[in-house]
Structure formats: structure tokens, C-alpha cells
Chain A
Amino acid sequence: MEQSIRLTLWPAYFFLPLGLGLMAALIALKLVCRVLGKPEPEPVALIALRVLIGVTLIAVSYAGIAAIGGHSAAWGILQVVPYSFISNWTLSSVPMFLLMGFVCYHCGLTRGLFDAARVWLSRLPGGLAIAAVFGCTGFAAVTGSRVACAAAMGKIAVPEMVRHKYDIRLATGTLGLLLAIGPACRRVSSMKTTSRWRTVRSASWCSGPVNHGSSIAAIGEIRNTRPKPGATLEPANLLEFLKPRLPAYMRPRYIEKRAPNRGGLVPVAGDFLRHVLPQGRGCLEIEPLAEGRAHFLEDVQNSLGFHPFRDHLFVQAFRDIA
């Protein structure tokens, strides 16, 4: 039914030259501005040395094909190849996943999810990165697209890891590792399964968990090189790993009773010690449980409502546009 109806293709062919042409015009404008000594919109260093990688690849391949088969052949390939690569039903999950990640991030959904993951994996070193590994596994199993998985998890997981004071190298490296190895096993397993391929397929079934297990172990090892007290994988505190630990905003809150000045003790000792200390000037008092629950519900309502989502989204959109 779909094949019987032909669409006119010229508007779609119009998008590629329009985008490329606008980009080229912008680059030319920057060059002209620099030659004339006018102020530029953004600090542009030597454009000859930091040519975009995509432009470089396009130019090099165009020159190569033109050297072999002439300019008409190269121009034809330049017409056909980007369009036929992009107009792909499978790849349409990539912008959809990006949109979903955007919406999830601005709803605060990923925040809650990663806080939950932090509760359960908090005793493990690098628990958040391990949570990202599990999330990547799920995404890769669902989509089978390496690019979509990496894009969505990069949108979701990396800001959360940065928010929890993870090293940016560890955060991006985790996702890069998963980008390399994650769904590769699935790609092998989707091949034609004749009896000859069955061994390959079973090997790929094994290789997925092995890959992810080894990456989890590697993350734990990286995080273990600078251990925090009580966060190392030793048999002595193995039981401690199993206790979930609440993140800060789920813990019962402490409200200030009187003047909050207690010298250097307050930042050092921690909440529990403050509570145990004899009630004196500036002692903190634990909130009643019902009130804490009310605060938690308020948080939930705030993050689920439409208005905060709208405000967040539009602030971000205007910051992007302006």
C-alpha cells in the first residue's frame, strides 16, 4: 500500500543543500569578519587548523572520488550518499531517543532514577557508573542501535554523574566503552542463524554479560584507586554494601532550632552526631516523619507537574536559541 504512493522528493532534497549552504555561509561570514578585523560572534581560533571533522571527511572523499572518476561522479555521490544514509527508518529512533532523553532530563525523571540507583548501589565504588552500564544494557537490548543508545544515555547519565561529582573523564569514558562494546553482541546475534552461525550466536549471548561484567569491574577498579572510607570492596564491610543508603533529599530533614552557629563541629561531625549531642545552643532537631513525607510528596509533585516542566523546558530552549 505504501509502495503504491510516490512522494515528491524535491523538498527533501532541498534540505541538505540548505543546511550545508547555511553552514558554509556562516563559516565564510566568520572568515570575512576576521579578515576585516571586525568583532566576531564567538572567539574563533585559526579556522584552517580546526576545520570541522565532518567537513574534512566530506572534502577528502570528494577529492578522492573526483580524482578517480571525475567531478560528475563525485558530485553524484555527494548528492546520493548523505540523503540515503539519513532517510532510514531504523535511524529515526535516534532523534526520538534524544527527544525522550531531553524530556526525561527536564522532567527530573532521570534525577529520581539515578537517585534510586544511587541508593541501591551506593556502597559499591562507582555505583552511578555501574547504573549507567545497566541502563545502557537495557537501551541497547531495546533499540539495537549503538548510536541511539549512546546519545540517549549521554543525555541522561552524564549530567547526573557530573552532578554527583564524578570525574567527567570517568563519565564519558564509561559511555564510550559501552558505545564500543555494548550492542555489538546484539548485532552479531541478529545475523542469520544457520547451524554454522549458532556457535557465533551463543558466543554473542555470552559475550554481552561478560563485556558488561568486565566493564563494571573496571569501573569499580577505577573508583577504588581513590577509596573513600567504607566504600571499598572488602569482606569486612560486605554487609554494609547490602544496606541501601538514602540520598540527601530523601533523608529526614533537619531544621534549625536556634542560632545555627556551632563552630567547626557542624561540618565535620555529620547529622547523626549532631542529633546525639546534648541539646544546646544551635542544636538541630530532626523533623517529624510525617513532615518529611510531606516534603517528599511536595518534591514529587513539583517534579511531576506540568508547570515546572514547561518552565524548565522553555528556559533551556531560550538559552539555546539566544
Chain B
Amino acid sequence: MIAYGFVRAVDRAVLFGAAIALVAMMLQVSADVIAKLAFNAPLPLPSALVTEYYMVAVAFLPLAAGEYRQAHIHVDIFVQRLPGSRPRTNSPTMRS
């Protein structure tokens, strides 16, 4: 279906954005540490960028991706008892 292709495309785009923010956060924090300790010239606004852009992007962009993979925490004690429900195939801890 077209809708599923669209959902997958949005999912990949969102994950890609979050991954870019994550790698940018890593690079900027390490560059800041190196600049501060080796050259005694700290970069401007690493903490503001990290807290106000990267953290928000990393935390909130993949919400839909988590829902797409059913990786959010939910309770299925009652659902398991219902007739006709399938047993769970994979547990999130084994997905590694």
C-alpha cells in the first residue's frame, strides 16, 4: 500500500535526522573538550546547542520510529489473556 511506503519513508527520514543530531552532538562535545584543554580556546555555545537543539531532536524525533517498531513500553498482561491473541514472538531485550 502507498500508506505503508509513506510511513516507512517518514520513519527513515526521522531516524536519519535523529542520527545526524546524535553524531553532531558527539562531534561538538569532543571538539569543545579538545579545544578547551589543548588550545585553551573553548568553542562558543556548545552547551546551548547541545541542550536546546540536539537533545530535543534526539529525544523527540524518534518517538514515531519507536511506535513503528513497537518499542515503547506497554502492558499486555490483559491482552495476552484475551481469546485469539497471538503470543509475542520477540521480546525487546532479545532484540539487542
The tally of residues in A whose CB lies under 8 Å from a CB in B reads 51
CB–CB B45/A2 < 8 A:
yes
Query: Residues of B contacting A320 with CB < 8 Å?
Result: 15, 69
Are A19 and B3 in touch, CB under 8 angstroms?
no
Q: Is the interface of A mostly helix, strand, loop or mixed?
A: helix
A171 CB contacts on chain B under 8 angstroms: 93
Contact A159 B47 (CB under 8 A): no
Cβ of B85 under 8 Å from chain A: yes
Interface residues of B in 28-72 (CB under 8 A from A): 29, 44-45, 47-64, 66-70, 72
Are the CB atoms of A9 and B52 closer together than 8 Å?
Answer: yes
Shortest CB distance B38–A (Å): 19
Which of A83-91, A124-132, A140-148, A288-296 is the interface stretch?
A: A83-91
Contacts of A79-101 to chain B: CB distance below 8 A: 82-83, 86-89, 91-92, 95-96, 99
B53 touches A12 (CB 8 A): yes
On whether the beta carbons of B25 and A92 are closer than 8 Å, the reply is yes
Known contacts A23-B64, A92-B50; decide if A50 and B79 are in contact (CB<8 Å): yes
Q: Are B76 and A50 in contact (CB under 8 A)?
A: yes
Contact B48 A5 (CB under 8 A): yes
Known: A12-B56, A15-B57. A1 touches B50 (CB 8 A): no
Interface size on B, residues (CB 8 A): 52
Given contacts A26-B7, A89-B50, contact A45 B85 (CB under 8 A): yes
- For A29, the chain B residues whose CB sits under 8 A away are 3, 7
Across the interface, name the chain A residue whose C-beta is closest to B11.
A321
Contacts of A22 in B (CB 8 A): 10, 14, 63-64
Given contacts A5-B48, A96-B26, A321-B12, A11 and B53 within 8 Å (CB-CB)? yes
* 5 A-B pairs with C-beta separation under 8 A: A12-B53, A12-B56, A19-B60, A26-B7, A95-B58
**Seed contacts A15-B56, A162-B96; 15 additional CB < 8 Å A-B pairs:** A5-B44, A5-B45, A7-B49, A16-B56, A16-B60, A19-B60, A49-B78, A88-B55, A89-B50, A92-B51, A92-B55, A95-B55, A158-B96, A321-B11, A321-B15
Q: Which residues of A contact B (CB under 8 A)?
A: 1-2, 5, 7, 9, 11-12, 15-16, 18-20, 22-23, 25-27, 29, 38, 41-43, 45-46, 49-54, 82-83, 86-89, 91-92, 95-96, 99, 105, 154, 158-159, 162, 168, 171-172, 320-321
